[in-house]
Structure 1
Amino acid sequence: MAAGRGEQPVRAGEPGLGVVAGRSWPRDGVRTLDGVAGFIESPRLYPGLSGRRNLQLLAGLDGLDGAAATRRVDEVLDTVDLLGRDREKVRGYSFGMRQRLGVAAALLRAPRLLVLDEPANGLDPAGIRDMRALVKRLAGSGMTVLLSSHDMAEVEQICDDVTIMRAGQVVYHGSIAGLRDQAPAPAHRLTTTDDDRAAALASARGLAVEPAAGGLAVRGDEHALDALVADLVGAGIGLRGLAMSETPLEALFFMLTEHAPDAPTAGLSRAAAISGARR
């Protein structure tokens, strides 16, 4: 989900096709993937070998050996913060360390485009933090990073531009800043001591209200929400909680993928985002 600025590395081509850095599969064949690296879901590694040995084998497949291979392996291990743990066997690595070693393997070829699919999926909080920081560093170096994620909060934190897809078609593409301007009002979860009366007051303020687990889902203008809080207090209704339950990006995603005509089920919906270094 990340892309460095400058040329557009990936763009729409003919139906079902893509153009990568000016190349397409029908015309250029396997050369379309020159300068492209990454992994889908989780990298495949030899668990009985060390992280360094895994990378040495991959470097050898690319024709690197001797001092050149050692230098490049050291560079990518340093980039993903695995120097010092690189001589340990991969079977002893945490899931997050294996994900970062997978990124290191992809970086061996010094790609122009790095493709990562859910790289933080399944990680603990520390692993998620480290992976997000790594993606930001890579994008900040000028590399193009294309990141696929279902975590809208993650997309908002690390991406500059976002693309939302429905049934294989792009239904939104633009900057995160533009998204915040165009996105519908996000839902807030409201909990009170009298949800029936609270719902009536919210409706009177022009807010959309529907039942939600443990309270109400309220959507509308933030000034109307502010006024609703005052209304609740004035009516003697206890306010137990009012918190945003979805981000602006999630609100737009749901609108485009679930509420649009012929939208697929949520299980088929996917989101991809593009972010990268400012030059």
Structure 2
Amino acid sequence: MAVLTLENVAKKIGSRWIVEDLNMTVEPAEVYGFLGPNGAGKTTTIRMIVGLARPTKGVIRIDGHDVQRECAAALRNIGAIVENPETYKYLSGRENLIHYARLNGLDVGRRNRKIDEVVDIVGLTGRIHEKVKRYSLGMRQRLGVAQALLGDPKLLVLDEPTNGLDPAGMREFRELMRRLAQEGMSVFVSSHLLGEIQLMCDRVAIVKNGRVIAEERVNELVENAAGGIRIAVGQPEPAVAALQSAGRHASVDRDGFIRVTAKRDEVPDVIRRLVNANIDIYGVEQGRDSLEEMFLQLTEEDAQSMQSAVSAAAGEGPANA
């Protein structure tokens, strides 16, 4: 059974839909990335997941429990950091955890054992007795994760957890998330940092303007991003037309190259078709192998579709140019 399920979830504030028709599942022991630019609806979605906001429509379930109808049972299975970890800087790291363990209802004996356990998990054993005001941002983030783990959650929800971290801090955090998943915990992490999501997550949903525009395993997204070639040609538009007439998906990218969806064994056919169309070819290279490239392609296509719809509605077709 999925640890987290969103079914047709939407949130409207005033006349604006912040989130629309989200459908997602997070499976046991996986790191699930929720990827999108700032303002895409990520934090609003997380606030609905953790019960801080009510969906306008749709159902959210945690470990099978409806967050709205069975709130206590659902939230018993979740640990979360929404936006920033809340800590008392004048207290030590351990004193902070004692405070939150009490709020979780842990008795003294179990409380001490659990604190020692989560401190070891997040790698703060040597610094846990220091005041939090002396902690680096990365250490405060790890203390926040320790706090979220006190209740033995099945699902850990994190909102932009690597914001402000240096490269070493990001790497430590990424390794921690992978270790938690290997030990059986599910992690739902939102971010606009594409490279971090690529390295950290098993699956990813790409969200734009409150809608999921793609959801796949990260390795499949990367393979799709790399499943093409970039060709430097003398006449980009005629080259694209020649390939599209042959049933190929081709377009002109931001650098003036043409980008063609083709597997390795299909590349010779692409080149022959361009040569037969009298297109000058200056270079061929593999498509850039990154989730960022796929993300930019998806969001640019989405933006172009929206602009076309707006233009059509405004009567800005060729006849009116």
**TM, length-normalised to structure 2:** 0.63
1:51 equivalenced with 2:112 (yes/no): no
Query: Distance in 1 between the 2:257 and 2:157 partners?
Result: 36
Query: Distance in 1 between the 2:133 and 2:203 partners?
Result: 36
| Corresponding residue of 2:207 | 165
- Choose from 68, 72, 75 the match for 1:33: 75
Matches within 5 A, 1:62-77: 62-77=104-119
Uncovered stretches (5+) of structure 1, i.e. residues with no partner = 1-6, 191-197, 228-234, 264-279
Query: Distance in 2 between the 1:33 and 1:174 partners?
Result: 27
Query: Distance in 1 between the 2:136 and 2:117 partners?
Result: 21
| Corresponding residue of 1:230 | none
State the 1:211 CA deviation: 5.2
Query: Distance in 1 between the 2:116 and 2:229 partners?
Result: 47
State the 1:131 CA deviation: 0.4
| Corresponding residue of 1:270 | none
Uncovered stretches (5+) of structure 2, i.e. residues with no partner = 9-56, 244-249, 272-279, 308-321
Query: Distance in 2 between the 1:40 and 1:186 partners?
Result: 38
Q: Structure 1's 11 and 200: CA in aligned 2 closer, same or farther, altered over 3 A?
A: same
Is the 8 Å Cα contact of residues 164 and 170 (structure 1) preserved in structure 2? Answer: yes
Is the 8 Å Cα contact of residues 165 and 171 (structure 1) preserved in structure 2? Answer: yes
State the 1:135 CA deviation: 0.5
| Corresponding residue of 1:11 | 5
Query: Distance in 1 between the 2:194 and 2:229 partners?
Result: 14
| Corresponding residue of 2:126 | 84
Structure of higher RCO (CA pairs closer than 8 Å, 6+ residues apart): 1
| Cα RMSD after superposing both structures | 3.5
Q: Which amino acid aligns with 2:214?
A: Y
| Corresponding residue of 2:178 | 136
1:126 equivalenced with 2:168 (yes/no): yes
Is the 8 Å Cα contact of residues 236 and 257 (structure 2) preserved in structure 1? Answer: no
Is the 8 Å Cα contact of residues 185 and 219 (structure 1) preserved in structure 2? Answer: no
Aligned positions, number = 238
State the 1:179 CA deviation: 2.6
Query: Distance in 1 between the 2:91 and 2:73 partners?
Result: 31
**TM, length-normalised to structure 1:** 0.72
Mean CA deviation greater in 34-43 or 101-110? 34-43
Query: Distance in 2 between the 1:32 and 1:16 partners?
Result: 16
1:219 equivalenced with 2:259 (yes/no): yes
State the 1:71 CA deviation: 1.0
Identity %: 39
State the 1:181 CA deviation: 4.6
| Corresponding residue of 1:21 | 63
What SS class does the counterpart of residue 258 from structure 1 fall into? helix
State the 1:80 CA deviation: 0.4
Q: Structure 1's 17 and 128: CA in aligned 2 closer, same or farther, altered over 3 A?
A: same
Is the 8 Å Cα contact of residues 36 and 112 (structure 1) preserved in structure 2? Answer: yes
State the 1:184 CA deviation: 7.2
Q: Structure 1's 211 and 148: CA in aligned 2 closer, same or farther, altered over 3 A?
A: closer
1:100 equivalenced with 2:100 (yes/no): no
1:262 equivalenced with 2:256 (yes/no): no
| Corresponding residue of 1:200 | 234
Query: Distance in 1 between the 2:94 and 2:229 partners?
Result: 47
Is the 8 Å Cα contact of residues 59 and 69 (structure 1) preserved in structure 2? Answer: yes
| Corresponding residue of 2:191 | 149
State the 1:125 CA deviation: 0.8
- Choose from 246, 250, 258 the match for 2:292: 250
State the 1:22 CA deviation: 1.2
State the 1:173 CA deviation: 2.2
Query: Distance in 2 between the 1:84 and 1:109 partners?
Result: 23
State the 1:165 CA deviation: 2.4
Query: Distance in 1 between the 2:104 and 2:229 partners?
Result: 50
Query: Distance in 2 between the 1:244 and 1:133 partners?
Result: 28
